[in-house]
């Protein structure tokens, strides 16, 4: 079967064949791993002979046009449990099965990152570190408030939002929440108070986003809603960039309301070198690290290996999503 190829795309972290050995599979099929993002002709050439295509999350969209360039494709695998960048209808028309991996402790990892970003922005860790690196010591910007008694506003209170709420309560914060389907009863189950979006935005010192994106939440945080926020508030997004109108946020940061933002997700990833967020004031940026944890990627690699092994042995495929 060495005339068949398994192609991994977008393994930025060099994880998929490092955390789990593919030596057993490489005896029977060619295994090619691409670490850098591919576009245009480079992408087409990379996937043109693929029998199995492994997608890291939704980093590269699998469109009908790209599928047309893969006449040998027999199986698609993606990491995680959801992928909005795959044309499932086109795959179904070709009877190509799609399998996914489990997540591992990704929700714990994302909640940890959300709090790392909240603390880094609130305590101005980067700026204070830069003071020392430049030969200085404390200054007037070093006199910072505490979080105890402050309001934490959570837009979304699912598994990740619930974890973030518990951490906020441990700091002595009052936790508020809003989502399109939130009820007072659901909020009370986590000792959180349900309020209107307007109250949450206008009264919270920290606003953290934890919604699953939908058509109704596209651009939820726009210019009008950003103006509701306090000038000393922090907006944190470790969820999805589509929840925030990025152009409006950049303008709001220059205007000083909110006072700061901490962002892990972006409309275009990797973030272009000339993107205005890179130069915006009072913004902390991380390269989509929410789910990027060794334990999570080990789960991705293990499950992908399991799926491909079953495909090689013509056994029933685990976690088939379509096809």
Spans of all domains in the chain: 5-105+293-322, 106-285
Residue 35 has pLDDT above 90, yes or no: yes
Instruction: For residues 120 and 233, give the distance between their C-alpha atoms in angstroms, rounded to a whole number.
Output: 13
Bridge partners for 261 per DSSP: 235, 283
∠230-176-105 over CA atoms, to 5°? Answer: 110
Mean pLDDT (the chain) is 96
Active site residue 23: no
Q: What mean pLDDT do residues 37-41 have?
A: 96
Instruction: For residues 121 and 155, give the distance between their C-alpha atoms in angstroms, rounded to a whole number.
Output: 18
Instruction: For residues 141 and 194, give the distance between their C-alpha atoms in angstroms, rounded to a whole number.
Output: 34
For residue 70, give Cα distances in angstroms to 32, 44, 151, 258: 15, 8, 52, 47
Query: Percentage of residues in the chain with pLDDT exceeding 70?
Result: 99
What was the pLDDT predicted at 323?
47
| Spatial CB neighbours of 154, under 8 Å, sequence gap ≥ 6 | 161, 164, 165, 168, 175, 176, 177, 178, 192, 208, 210
By the 10 Å C-beta count (0-12 exposed, 13-18 middle, 19+ buried), 252 is classed as buried
Lowest mean pLDDT among 116-125, 278-287, 314-323: 314-323
Q: What is the pTM of this model?
A: 0.92
- At residue 234, φ and ψ (nearest 5 deg) are -120, 130
Q: What mean pLDDT do residues 291-298 have?
A: 97
Residue 2 has pLDDT above 80, yes or no: no
Take residue 274 and report the two structure tokens written for it: 């000339």
Options 269, 275, 298, 319, the catalytic residue = 269
The helix, strand and coil proportions of the chain, stated in percent and rounded to the nearest 5, come to 35, 15, 45
Residue 322 has pLDDT above 60, yes or no: no
By the 10 Å C-beta count (0-12 exposed, 13-18 middle, 19+ buried), 16 is classed as buried
Whether a cis peptide bond, with omega within 30° of 0, leads into 282 is: no
Please indicate whether the domains covering 5-105+293-322 and 106-285 agree at the CATH topology level.
yes
| Spatial CB neighbours of 254, under 8 Å, sequence gap ≥ 6 | 280, 281
Active site residue 269: yes
Options 151, 163, 210, 288, the catalytic residue = 288
Active site residue 35: no
Helix (H, G, I), strand (E, B) or coil at 26: helix
Decide if domain 5-105+293-322 falls under CATH 3.40.50.150: no
CATH class label, 106-285: alpha beta
Q: State the SS3 of 174-236.
A: EEEEECCCCCHHHHHHCCCEECCHHHHHHHCCEEEECCCCCHHHCCCECHHHHCCCCCCCEEE
What was the pLDDT predicted at 3?
87
Whether a cis peptide bond, with omega within 30° of 0, leads into 228 is: no
Q: Do residues 284 and 262 touch, judged by C-beta distance below 8 A?
A: yes
């Amino acid at each position: 079967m060495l005339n068949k190829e398994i192609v991994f795309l977008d393994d930025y972290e060099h994880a998929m064949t490092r955390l789990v050995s593919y030596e057993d599979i490489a005896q029977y099929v060619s295994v090619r791993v691409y670490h850098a993002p591919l576009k245009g002709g480079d992408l087409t050439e990379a996937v043109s002979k693929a029998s199995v295509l492994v997608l890291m999350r939704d980093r590269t969209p699998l469109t009908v046009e790209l599928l047309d360039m893969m006449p040998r494709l027999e199986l698609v695998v993606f990491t995680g449990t959801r992928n909005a960048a795959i044309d499932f209808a086109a795959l179904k028309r070709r009877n190509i099965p799609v399998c996914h991996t489990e997540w591992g402790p990704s929700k714990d990892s994302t909640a940890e990152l959300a709090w790392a970003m909240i603390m880094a922005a609130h305590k101005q860790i980067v700026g204070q570190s830069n003071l020392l690196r430049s030969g200085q010591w404390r200054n007037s910007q070093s006199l910072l408030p505490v979080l105890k008694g402050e309001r934490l506003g959570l837009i979304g209170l699912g598994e990740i939002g619930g974890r973030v709420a518990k951490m906020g309560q441990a700091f002595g914060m009052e936790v508020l929440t809003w989502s399109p389907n939130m009820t007072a009863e659901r909020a009370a189950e986590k000792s959180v108070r349900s309020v209107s979006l307007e109250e949450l935005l206008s009264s919270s010192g920290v606003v953290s986003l934890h919604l699953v994106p939908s058509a109704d939440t596209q651009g939820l945080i726009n210019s009008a809603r950003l103006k509701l926020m306090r000038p000393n508030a922090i907006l944190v997004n470790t969820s999805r960039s589509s929840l925030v109108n990025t152009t409006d946020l950049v303008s709001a940061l220059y205007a000083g309301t909110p006072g700061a933002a901490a962002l892990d997700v972006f409309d275009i990833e990797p973030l272009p070198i000339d993107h205005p967020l890179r130069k915006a004031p009072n913004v902390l940026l991380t390269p989509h690290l929410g789910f990027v944890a060794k334990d999570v990627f080990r789960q991705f690699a293990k499950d992908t290996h399991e799926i491909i092994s079953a495909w090689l042995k013509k056994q029933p495929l685990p976690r088939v999503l379509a096809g």
